[in-house]
Structure 1
Amino acid sequence: MFSQRAVLVVGKAITPADLDDLTAFGFDVADRLGLTVRVATDMAEDVTQYEGVVLDGTWLDSVTSTVLGTEAMAADMFCIEAADVYAFPSDASCHWCGEAGRVAPRRTRDGWTAPMHFTCASMTRKASATAPTVAA
């Protein structure tokens, strides 16, 4: 179920309060679009490694939004503003098992998973902890 890459959520992250707001917006993106989300805290991200970019606010709300949003558009990727995200209802099916029920995005180190059941999230953590590592 996790074959898609994440989308990148960008916005102002200058203060701890800004970062909290941006992280909360990342939850909304994962919940409403049903996608895995990574929250960008600076301009060091390569937008081509993501499915697209979602701006917390508008193009002009932060330098990060302007730069990464422009890079996404130049790479012919989707780039949408916050207002467009709220046009979608919350996703009601688990992206791990596919069943409907009480689902929500789960917090990761640097973003959010696509919506899933609590028990499915527990199984994914166990599966990733026991997965063999492959040498590069």
Structure 2
Amino acid sequence: MKIINLTKLLLITILMSVGFNLYATPIPSYKGIPKKDVNFAKFLKKNHNKIVQLDLLIQDPDDFDFITYGYRSVSPTFDIAPIGKVKYDAYIECDKINNPNAETTIDKCAPYVQWDTETGHLTGKFKVLSKGKNGMGSMLYYLVATK
């Protein structure tokens, strides 16, 4: 009888510790200026197919329209610093959230992605998906907004 109780206690302890460790794993995060920092492209490569937390500063005012309204009204986009001769592009995908009250393309991600057009500050949680090279030879990454 004591062996059965000891086994149950041991099993419960193991299951609880495994469960806590699963939820305690931190989300990879990046804070910076993607157009100037080559580490952002490296961060995207390293975290392909993972959920990440981003806190970005988009400095180029021309990029503001691309993020607010989407490049050619398709998807919000911004430039990333190249690594050597390899250029990188990032597209923000909001279709999974698709806020029905959205007035702009990036608003479809609200309230889970925050975008300030005055400061160029973009924050949110995304799943990083590599799409390989696009037609112009740049490496293409989709940042799928998540809840």
Same fold (TM over 0.5): no
**With structure 1 as the length reference, what TM-score do the two structures score?**
0.26
Pick the structure with greater CA Rg: 2
More helix by share: 1
More strand by share: 2
**With structure 2 as the length reference, what TM-score do the two structures score?**
0.25
